[in-house]
Amino acid sequence: MPLYRSHILVCTGTTCVLKGCTAVQSALIAEIKRRGLENEVKVVETGCLGISEKGPVMIVYPEGVTYCQLKVSDIPEIVEEHLLKGRTVSRLVYTGPVTGEVKPAHPGRQKEQRIVLKNIGIIDPTSIEEYIAYGGYEVLGKALTQMTPEQVVAEVKTSQLRGRGGAAFPTGIKWELTAQAKGDNKSVICNADEGEPGNFKDRLILEGDPHCVVEAMIIAGYAVGAKTGYLYIRGEYHQSVAHTEKAIADAKAMGLLGKDIFGSGFDYDIKVFKGAGAYVCGEETALIESLEGRRGESMVKPPFPPTQGLWGQPTVINNVETLANIPHIILNGGEWYAGIGTEKSKGTKIFSPCGDVFYPGVYEVPFGITMREVIYELAGGTKSGKPFKAVLVGGPSGACVGAESMDKTFAYEDLAPGAGALIVMDEDKCIVDTVNNCLKFFVHESCGQCIPCREGTKRMYEMTKSWTEGQGEEADLALMQALTSNLALTSRCGLGQVAGTAFATSYKLFPDEYLSHVVGAECPTGKCTMTNGGGKNNG
Amino acid sequence: MSAHQCGCEGQVKQAQADEAEKYVKLAQIIDEYKGQRGVLIQALHKAQGVFGWLPEEVQIKVADGLDIPLAEVHGVATFYSFFHIIPRGEHTIRVCLGTACYVRGGKQVLEQFEKELKTKVRGTTEDRTFSLEINRCVGACGLAPVVTVGADIYRRVKLDKVPEIIAKYTGGK
Amino acid sequence: MEQVTLTIDGKEVSVPKGSTVLDASKAAGIGIPTLCHLENVHAIGACRICLVDVGARSLQTACTYPASEGMKVVTNNPRVRSARKTVVELMLSAHRQECTCCPRSLNCELQKVAKILGIQEHRFDGEMPEQILDTSSPSITRDSSKCILCRRCVTVCQQVQGVGALFPVDRGFETAIVPALKNDLIDVACVMCGQCVSVCPVGALYEKDSTDDVWKAIADPTKHVVVQTAPAVRAALGEEFGMPAGTRVTGQMVTALRQMGFDKVFDTDFTADLTILEEGNELLHRVKNGGTLPMITSCSPGWIKYIEHFYPTLLPHLSTCKSPQQMFGALAKTYYAEKAGIKPEDIFVVSIMPCTAKKYECQRTEMSAHPGIPDVDVVLTTRELGKMIREMGMDFANLPKGECDSPLGLSTGAAVIFGATGGVMEAALRTVYEVVTGETLDNVNFTAIRGLEGVKEATVKVGDLDVKVAIASGLSNAKKLMEKIKNGEADYHFIEIMCCPGGCLGGGGQPIPTTNEIRKARMGAIYEEDEHLTIRKSHENPAVLALYAEFLGEPLGHKSHELLHTHYTPRAKYPETDKEEVTTGGE
Amino acid sequence: MLETTQCPNCKKTDVADIRDCVRQFGRDQGNLIPILHAVQKKYGYLTADATEEIADWLGIHASEVYGTATFYTLFSTKPLGKYVVRLCDSPPCHIEGSLSIQKAIEEDLGVGNGETTEDGLFTLEVVSCFGLCGVAPAIMVNDEVHGNLTPEMIPAILSKYRKEGN
Amino acid sequence: MANTVNLTINGMSVQAEEGMTVLQAAQKAGVYIPTLCYHPDLSIEGVCRICVVEIKGQRLLCPSCAYPVAEGMDINTHSPKVREARRTIIELLLANHPDECLTCSNNQKCELQRLAKELGVQQVRFEGARRDVPIDTSNPSVIRNMDKCILCKRCVRVCHEMQSVGAIFANKRGWDTVIAPPFNKELSEMVCVFCGQCINRCPTGALKGNDPAAEVWEALSDPDKHVVVQTAPAVRAAIGEEFGMPAGSLVTGKMVAALKMMGFDKVFDTDFTADLTILEEGNELLHRLKTGGTLPIITSCSPGWINFIEHFYPEQLPHLSTCKSPQQMFGALAKTYYAEKMGIDPSKIVVVSIMPCTAKKYESERPEMRSSGYQDVDYVLTTREAAGMMKEAGIDLPNLEDGKFDLPLGMSTGAAVIFGNTGGVMEAALRTVYEVVTGKTLENVEIKAVRGMEGVREAEIDLDGTKVKAAVAHGLANARKILDLIKEGKADYAFVEVMCCPGGCIGGGGQPHPTSEEIRKKRAEAIYAEDSGMALRKSHENPAVLTLYKEFLGEPLSHKSHELLHTKYTAKTKKKAKA
């Protein structure tokens, strides 16, 4: 490995690309070459540095200086001043408080405790060497050579890690069930079909630290006795696919995948599977159907995947974030992990506040943090400065929560976080309009095989739509409630079961706003289609 | 009634007396037909002759008197276009919608009457001056469209003639 | 009888002179579809479904066309088929099709005819007549959008019941069957008997559905829900499940009710026995004390409403006894409530009745022992019970047989026969005879007063007394007796009147269809049930005797009067009309 | 009639080409979606010939191939524009005004949701969340993403593609 | 033996076997649970949610058709929650279903209609957009009206699982889901074999046969036409069901009487040409055995099967017998032999078939089937459609007195009757081949080895020392197995019988609804009963057939036979639309 005097990390996260980092990056490389510094300075692409709102962003090591809001025209100056002359270009330096290795965008970042996101923004996600340099694959070696599969499962059980995709099933138990189930062709599936609106954490992990997930999948495979891992990534996540494919190829090249890994006799391979645009494939049995080349329609349960999953074989399916915790748990021990968080909710959780917040983004914090801390401190409160109205915790399939719950803590025993999406609305936003939009989403994404979901979501959407158009009837409200509870009882998979949650919870919070729409044909916020085209840009 | 200050008590009393007299006549008619079969239509004819139309009360009296269910009396009354179960106006305007009149604009004339009188076909104006009806051919096809008001016949009625015809019977009111 | 011979579709058949082509085709085993035709009641050739080719220029309706010697009838040729199809299609063009949620689905004559004729298209599309949906009555709902104007309801209301609440109004496309003056049913002298529902071929008339209220009560843990079943229900309920008419299903019915979740399954028969004791004693009392005679029974709420509207001056003839249903309700919320230690307001009484008028009866203000709490909360018809059992997915025919709960479930054969015309009279005679004579009645079967004739008369020797009795079922028959009384020509002591033809077994809440044949079969079942019971006289019912001993004291006692007797209200024959318009006409 | 597969560039029909495209994958139904991705990428949409070819290769019915393809929004059975403009209208973007963005795009392109411009350059699709909630409202044009949009930004973005495409 | 599991259903203690579903356990205990997407012939789909039940301890309602029993389970099949859920589901379906019951082919047989009634649905609280898909009337056999489809996928399952044809599939998703051939083509443009099994599984009126009743009525009333009817063997064992008679009621005589009442000039029997088929096909087999022709020879009576092999295994067409199906042999003879004999102008003869089959409609329109110079068979009615016509004519079939087939084309033997069952053609052929080959009388004519309901059956028959291997398959998925064996050279059979539909023609797509293994077995029993009650049970003993050879055809496989009774097949591609 050649030795470089300086490393420059250029953020190429999806959001920074939007800000023009690609041009900045190529200008930088060209300038370095022009100055003949290519053997001394290495330009590294990295995932989101967490301050995308100030992008394009780069950090120069070893000094750890962060430059932000860069333009192509700034590059010659930086190369000249900083790299050649060793002087910081102060007018471009990001001035937010700096702690540790991460350069927080704002004071709220200090509340973060990064375990899963530890490497994000630090390393070059396309370089296996860097991952290894930061301690990567060490744990894999430990697990494969020093631990039995049973011990690995036990460690995960000790950690009390629960699934981070929303359902919060204990991961250790899932692994144990799969390990104990009979089958000669077990699989591990990493569910990266992140489709819930408001969630973008898995994308960040796969873009910024794909090896972490690859390593976790190998460990999982070892623990449950699987031969193959499948990484099911949303078809829309092009960069995630590119980075993980490269990561897997590199790992294979280094013998970290394939036959007899670390001489342990364990054979394992990982395949990247690109989804094709169907939210319902985030449901584990629909995902399996999709992997088998079928329509992504959920399967009848039981049997559950740990006993009968992909190709009828025992299968463990974990969310990206869940898996990304694994190397840290094996490295530091389950006990260590169980020491973080609250009594029933261990470890950290990644949140992705968005909507009307000042700093939308991805934040990793320990369980037990209050909603107020996340919304006001991490996400900086409402973007408009107007009072907070409500938040959809977990996205459209989650509960609508109001200001009265502001001091509740995020934990499975208190306020369940779902997959971590927090869609925040300020007082200007119309609840009925938002719920109508959630239902539109479910109509579009229902797989359509079971009647309650296929026909029910459509009727619910039609009803809320008529409300936003001032066409409602009072009886609609009771009917909507009846329909919601019936869908929850009879739908075949989670999609239909939760499709009415946003309505049911928001109706409890804002009955008057609904009545005003349904009976009075009036929208108090004036944001409905009944008053205008909707949305902030029309206000 | 005592609240009336306009001195119309006399008129009201007169009206009540007229009304009472009509019911006496009705009782006679009913007596005439009592116990006979197949007389409902004649009875209704005569009753309408007295009242000008068939108020509910009259239908009830006929039903009771002839021992026929009221539903049947009402059903028969509504079957024949000659019987009126809503009060009639002083004048009946009939617009002919026979084929010849129809093709020469009878329909439009009718609509014009509806508009001017603010009532629909088979309806009566609020002040009970006019009832509006349609006619099937009156045999004056050469002069279509034809409108009759009582015994008066108007031929080749154009739309602008409609207010004129109406005014003739309202005395310009 | 003189016979005529004709050929139908090439098949020779002989029928009595005076038969119609339809009768002849039946004899020949050739099916001709019908809709407006109602056997023995109504053949008006209005619906044109039964058109056949008799060789005439136009097709003729088989239901009206007389069969004649040497006639050649073709029931199936292109002319006939196309005519019938067109007729049905035209009907459909004015029929609101919502079969799947229609109460008559799969028991609808129009649906059946459409199927038989293989109707698969709907060529006429256009304006639908204005819908009149009348939900004003507690018993009957009318929906003109499904009416095919067959006029069966008109005929049955007018000719069979002599009520005449319904008649066609307007004409042509606008024709509608409505109550007088286009009033709502509640505003006219409708007796709520439901005979119109019973004959309606489609879903234009149906009972007010109360099943949801009952399901709600059953699901409510704070309610103690008891059910009583009228005698005629058990003789007909099986028909709702495809069993032949006349199948007795008492045991299965009890089991079904229990599985549905009723807390107690009782029997209206219990209070039928009680009625006999009260009414029998009332009769004896009137006879002894020169009270108003003849005394007339008061079990049938349609009949009560009829006399209130049409013969208010004869109301003193009525027995003051409440109907068994209402006696039951009153006792359930007093005697039983006390005995079981349950607050009357927590008891929910459901009746299963062959009758739609009972739905009205239970809402009468007189019918509550505790102010503001009705004695009977909900009345369901036999059909509605059938519907609920279907919703429970039960295999009704194969249910194990259950027994009613005591004490209000114990009864005698005398109570069972209340379901048939003449039954109350027979039951009363069994008791009156023994009470008066002090002797045991050997043959309890008074066959002289059984049967389906509209008016029956008999003289029964009870000790020294020749008791003259009369029995009528169907209100036009009742009318005959009323006219007799009015004219002072009736020397009867006791008259039994049932609103519906055949008595309760032919009630307006019974399974559809109800024909004379079916009435007979149900009647057979009722007398069979009576025969099978060991106790067949009301005054031998031990539970009734216990009731007197524990609670009521004696027949016609103070408590009896309070709970088991009632009074009647004269009612106008015509609705209150808005007279204002008439009197102010001169303005 | 089933359309024959045409190469979008040379407009030539090449069944053998499809065959090669399909047969680089294993004969196992698990490869159906990867194959569909490959065909979609190569031809822009799923043709009838390709459907038959895939069905033959995987030993399943063409009806199943078609049914499966239509289940997923990323596959099309009709030719699409050179640039597919995908607009997110899920709650985060909706709250932030995606409807006004849609309006701006529709005005600029003159087509509605699911339609393709006459020149065959653009197809507009209103879709569910693609994980750009942090920069809502957002669109994707083929693989490229654009976020924090206002209606005013739309003409510039689209004209860039228009230039590239012509 | 599976372990016993103890459950409680509606408060009753019930025992079930491990591995059973809750539905099976309930059915075993006599507890009724309504179903819609479930069908005993097909795999479990579990999508309609009508069969949901409440299981103690479960948060959600569970679909009983897919939910396995477990020890101690406490199930309520009709709790208020369950009833409300079912009712809501039906209402949701109805909100998206045309209000056309009265003009629907499935009126009064419709499962949705029945369920709505049973669950007490009296209003539909939901309203909104409805599906609006064009009706597919592209082909002579199956009409698809997807507006009435409730997406239970029974048709998809039967097409893929039992028939392995796969003409249709669920397309798009969510509320837009529609069952259709790929690319929204019409059925005639795709590889559909027109077996009609989908119609028989459809719970609503979304799928129906293409009904020529109107044309048949017209022909019957045309005094210039001589209208003859032939009835296939399987019809008589099933048509009674359409009149409420139990499955397995044999109504041959009543059916004949009814057809006469309808006005057919002659009521003939396809059984006559079934016997003829045996003579032609049996001789063809012997000929191939002797001359080293393509073996195995495969039967060609079943038009759905013919469509299948033409499309999917065109290279194996030489295995097919060249015999036309009995229906088509009949048509050809009716307009030649019979016309000549009766002196009727063949252009005035209208041949109507009553078939258990929808593919026969397609077959009759094939261009090859005009060897009389006219379309040999004019109209094909399914069993259901024929019953519908009888009802329209006011005929009360169950109470009719027996009628008799007309001669000569109404004469037949027991061997012909059993054509209706899977294995029947084989058995009939063996009865004749045995006697022809050995010259001995076959003592026991019932060849049980080829009877039964297993999908593929094999038998070895001893023809006086010569062993002949035969195989029987029914249902096209099973036929596929045999064809694959032949393809791989692993089939050493001499003779193979293939029937398109499960159970053979008695389970045909034109037979009464519903159908299930149990019902098919009952119909099969009725057929065997008819056979055993007949005096003549071997085709070569049919005197009318023998007369036919003498008077007209000469001998089996003669020139005239070839002209009228044999045909050829066309290799077709799977990409039918291009052809």
Contact across the interface for A423 and D145, Cβ inside 8 Å: no
Alpha carbon distance A332, A142 (integer Å): 11
Question: Domain for residue D4, yes or no?
Answer: no
Q: Is the domain of D96 the same as that of D138? A: yes
CA–centroid distance for A333 within its chain: 24
Q: Is C39 a catalytic residue?
A: no
**Contact assessment for residue D90 and residue D129, using Cβ atoms and an 8 Å cutoff:** yes
Q: Is the domain of A163 the same as that of A215? A: yes
Mention every residue, 6+ apart, whose C-beta is less than 8 A from residue C561.
Answer: C320
Q: Output the pLDDT for position B89.
A: 82
Domain boundary among A426, A461, A495: A426
Among candidate residues E247, E221, E213, the one with its CA nearest the CA of residue E105: E213
Write the burial class of residue A496 (CB in 10 Å: 0-12 exposed, 13-18 middle, 19+ buried). Answer: buried
Question: Domain for residue A106, yes or no?
Answer: no
pLDDT in tens, C188-197: 999 999 999 9
pLDDT category, A51, cuts 50, 70, 90? low
Q: Is the domain of A361 the same as that of A399? A: yes
Out of E45, E85, E174, the one facing A446 most closely (by C-beta) is E174
pLDDT in tens, E142-172: 999 999 999 999 999 999 999 999 999 999 9
Alpha carbon distance C9, C21 (integer Å): 12
**Whole domain around residue D64: which residue ranges?**
15-71
Q: Is the domain of A299 the same as that of A380? A: no
Alpha carbon distance D149, E441 (integer Å): 92
Q: Which residues of A touch E88 (CB under 8 A)?
A: 452, 456, 482-483, 486, 490
Q: Output the pLDDT for position A79.
A: 85
Write the single-letter amino acid at C387.
Answer: K
Q: Which residues of A touch D94 (CB under 8 A)?
A: 433-434, 437, 534-535
- Which region, left, alpha or beta, applies to residue C10 given φ > 0 means left and ψ of -120 to 50 means alpha? left
With tokens 């070696």, the residue in question is: A141
Sorted by where each starts, the structural domains of chain C and their CATH numbers stand as: 3-91 (3.10.20.740), 129-207 (3.30.70.20), 211-564 (3.40.50.1780)
Q: Is the domain of D138 the same as that of D98? A: yes
- Residue E354 has φ and ψ, to the nearest 5°, of -110, 115
- CA distances, A125 to each of A26, A56, A242, D61, E68 (Å): 18, 18, 10, 41, 46
Alpha carbon distance C569, C376 (integer Å): 20
Contact across the interface for D129 and A534, Cβ inside 8 Å: no
Alpha carbon distance E51, C135 (integer Å): 34
- CA distances, D1 to each of A180, E140, E184 (Å): 54, 20, 11
**Contact assessment for residue A161 and residue A344, using Cβ atoms and an 8 Å cutoff:** no
Q: Is the domain of D90 the same as that of D120? A: yes
Q: Is the domain of D88 the same as that of D60? A: no
pLDDT category, A101, cuts 50, 70, 90? very low
The catalytic site residues of E sit at 281, 284, 301, 321, 360, 363, 368, 505
**Contact assessment for residue A181 and residue A173, using Cβ atoms and an 8 Å cutoff:** no
Question: Domain for residue A139, yes or no?
Answer: yes
Q: Could you give the ipTM of this predicted complex? A: 0.84
Question: Which long-range contacts link A65-70 to residues 24+ away (Cβ below 8 Å)?
Answer: A65/A93, A66/A93, A66/A94, A66/A98, A66/A103, A67/A92, A67/A93, A67/A94, A68/A92, A68/A93, A68/A94, A70/A21, A70/A24
Q: Is the domain of A162 the same as that of A311? A: yes
Instruction: Enter the pTM of the model.
Output: 0.88
Q: Is the domain of A301 the same as that of A200? A: yes
Question: Domain for residue D145, yes or no?
Answer: yes
Among candidate residues A101, A111, A138, A113, the one with its CA nearest the CA of residue A212: A138
Sheet holding A315-319, edge to edge: A258-261, A266-274, A226-233, A186-192, A315-319
pLDDT in tens, B50-100: 988 898 889 999 998 998 888 899 888 888 877 888 887 888 898 888 777
Q: How far is D46 from chain A (nearest CA, A)?
A: 13
Out of E166, E181, E575, the one facing D52 most closely (by C-beta) is E575
Domain boundary among D27, D49, D71: D71
Question: Domain for residue D77, yes or no?
Answer: no
How many domains, chain A? Answer: 4
With tokens 């617009």, the residue in question is: B95
Pick among C134, C142, C157, C167 to test the B interface (most B CBs inside 10 A): C167
Question: Domain for residue D118, yes or no?
Answer: yes
Token pair, residue C340, equals 């079981």
Question: Domain for residue A118, yes or no?
Answer: no
Sorted by where each starts, the structural domains of chain B and their CATH numbers stand as: 7-79 (no CATH), 91-170 (3.40.30.10)
Pinpoint the alpha helices (H) of E349-400. 359-364, 383-392
Q: How far is D142 from chain A (nearest CA, A)?
A: 9
Dihedral sign for Cα C505, C509, C515, C521, please: negative
Crossing angle between the packed helical segments A171-180 and A149-159, to the nearest 10 degrees = 150
Domain boundary among D23, D46, D71: D71
**Contact assessment for residue E10 and residue C259, using Cβ atoms and an 8 Å cutoff:** yes
Helix or strand run (H / E) with residue C342: none
Closest residue in chain C to residue E101, using alpha carbons only: C99
Token pair, residue A83, equals 């790299």
Is the minimum CB–CB distance between B127 and chain C shorter than 8 Å?
Answer: no
Is the minimum CB–CB distance between D25 and chain A shorter than 8 Å?
Answer: no
Alpha carbon distance E280, E566 (integer Å): 9
**Contact assessment for residue C177 and residue C147, using Cβ atoms and an 8 Å cutoff:** yes
Q: DSSP secondary structure string, A169-194?
A: -BHHHHHHHHHHS--SSEEEEEEE--
In the beta sheet, which residues pair with residue B92? B131
Pick among A283, A489, A491 to test the E interface (most E CBs inside 10 A): A489
Question: Domain for residue A119, yes or no?
Answer: no
Dihedral sign for Cα C577, C582, C583, C584, please: positive
Q: Which residues of A touch E151 (CB under 8 A)?
A: 448-449, 451, 454
Q: Is the domain of D147 the same as that of D110? A: yes
**Contact assessment for residue E208 and residue E513, using Cβ atoms and an 8 Å cutoff:** no
Higher pLDDT: C29 or D1? It is: C29
Q: Is C82 a catalytic residue?
A: no
**Whole domain around residue A287: which residue ranges?**
128-338
Alpha carbon distance D12, D20 (integer Å): 15
Q: Is the domain of A216 the same as that of A296? A: yes
Q: Is the domain of D89 the same as that of D149? A: yes
Q: Is the domain of D62 the same as that of D108? A: no
Question: Domain for residue D76, yes or no?
Answer: no
Question: Domain for residue D78, yes or no?
Answer: no
Domain boundary among A411, A426, A441: A426
Alpha carbon distance C118, C112 (integer Å): 10
Our separate counts of H helices and E strands in chain B read 7, 4
How many domains, chain D? Answer: 2
Is the minimum CB–CB distance between B15 and chain C shorter than 8 Å?
Answer: yes
Q: Is the domain of A323 the same as that of A452? A: no
Q: Is the domain of A307 the same as that of A377? A: no
Mention every residue, 6+ apart, whose C-beta is less than 8 A from residue A168.
Answer: A162, A412, A416
Is the minimum CB–CB distance between C172 and chain B shorter than 8 Å?
Answer: no
Q: Is the domain of D62 the same as that of D30? A: yes
Q: Is the domain of A422 the same as that of A444? A: no
pLDDT in tens, E528-558: 999 999 999 999 999 999 999 999 999 999 9
Any idea what the CATH number is for the domain that residue A375 is in? 3.10.20.600
**Contact assessment for residue A353 and residue A379, using Cβ atoms and an 8 Å cutoff:** yes
Mention every residue, 6+ apart, whose C-beta is less than 8 A from residue A128.
Answer: A136, A211, A247, A250, A251, A254
Q: Do chains D and A touch (3 or more CB pairs under 8 A)?
A: yes
Q: Is the domain of D160 the same as that of D131? A: yes
Alpha carbon distance E419, A50 (integer Å): 77
Q: Do chains E and B touch (3 or more CB pairs under 8 A)?
A: no
Question: Domain for residue A105, yes or no?
Answer: no
Alpha carbon distance A233, E302 (integer Å): 48
Q: Output the pLDDT for position A103.
A: 38
Mean pLDDT of C233-241: 96
- CA distances, D49 to each of A294, B165, D11, D26 (Å): 19, 78, 15, 19
Any idea what the CATH number is for the domain that residue D105 is in? 3.40.30.10
**Contact assessment for residue C35 and residue C201, using Cβ atoms and an 8 Å cutoff:** yes
Any idea what the CATH number is for the domain that residue A471 is in? 1.20.1440.230
Neighbouring CB atoms inside 10 A of A388's CB total 20
Question: Domain for residue D59, yes or no?
Answer: yes
Alpha carbon distance B155, B109 (integer Å): 12
Alpha carbon distance E29, E25 (integer Å): 6
Write the burial class of residue A183 (CB in 10 Å: 0-12 exposed, 13-18 middle, 19+ buried). Answer: buried
Mean pLDDT of C328-336: 97
Domain boundary among A296, A320, A338: A338
> What is the bridge-based pairing of β-strands B130-135 and B147-149?
unpaired
Q: Is the domain of D89 the same as that of D46? A: no
Crossing angle between the packed helical segments A511-518 and A451-468, to the nearest 10 degrees = 70
Closest residue in chain E to residue C99, using alpha carbons only: E101
**Contact assessment for residue C21 and residue C54, using Cβ atoms and an 8 Å cutoff:** yes
Is the minimum CB–CB distance between C9 and chain E shorter than 8 Å?
Answer: yes
Write the single-letter amino acid at C497.
Answer: I
Neighbouring CB atoms inside 10 A of C242's CB total 8
With tokens 């009543």, the residue in question is: E254
**Contact assessment for residue A307 and residue A280, using Cβ atoms and an 8 Å cutoff:** no
Question: Domain for residue A113, yes or no?
Answer: no
> What is the bridge-based pairing of β-strands C465-473 and A6-11?
unpaired
Q: Is the domain of A389 the same as that of A268? A: no
Out of D71, D89, D143, the one facing A296 most closely (by C-beta) is D71
Question: Domain for residue D2, yes or no?
Answer: no
Alpha carbon distance E539, E565 (integer Å): 16
One pLDDT digit (tens) per residue for chain E, 579 residues: 579 999 999 999 999 999 999 999 999 999 999 999 999 999 999 999 999 999 999 999 999 999 999 999 999 999 999 999 999 999 999 999 999 999 999 999 999 999 999 999 989 999 999 999 999 999 999 999 999 999 999 999 999 999 999 999 999 999 999 999 998 889 988 889 999 999 999 999 999 999 999 999 999 999 999 999 999 999 999 999 999 999 999 999 999 999 999 999 999 999 999 999 999 999 999 999 999 899 999 999 999 999 999 999 999 999 999 999 999 999 999 999 999 999 999 999 999 999 999 999 999 999 999 999 999 999 999 999 999 999 999 999 999 999 999 999 999 999 999 999 999 999 999 999 999 988 899 888 999 989 999 999 999 988 878 888 999 999 999 999 999 999 999 989 999 999 999 999 999 999 999 999 999 999 999 999 999 999 999 999 999 999 999 999 999 999 999 999 999 999 987 764 433
Q: Is the domain of D92 the same as that of D153? A: yes
User: Chains meeting E at 3+ CB pairs closer than 8 A?
Assistant: A, C, D
Alpha carbon distance D126, C312 (integer Å): 74
**Contact assessment for residue A87 and residue A80, using Cβ atoms and an 8 Å cutoff:** no
pLDDT category, A96, cuts 50, 70, 90? very low
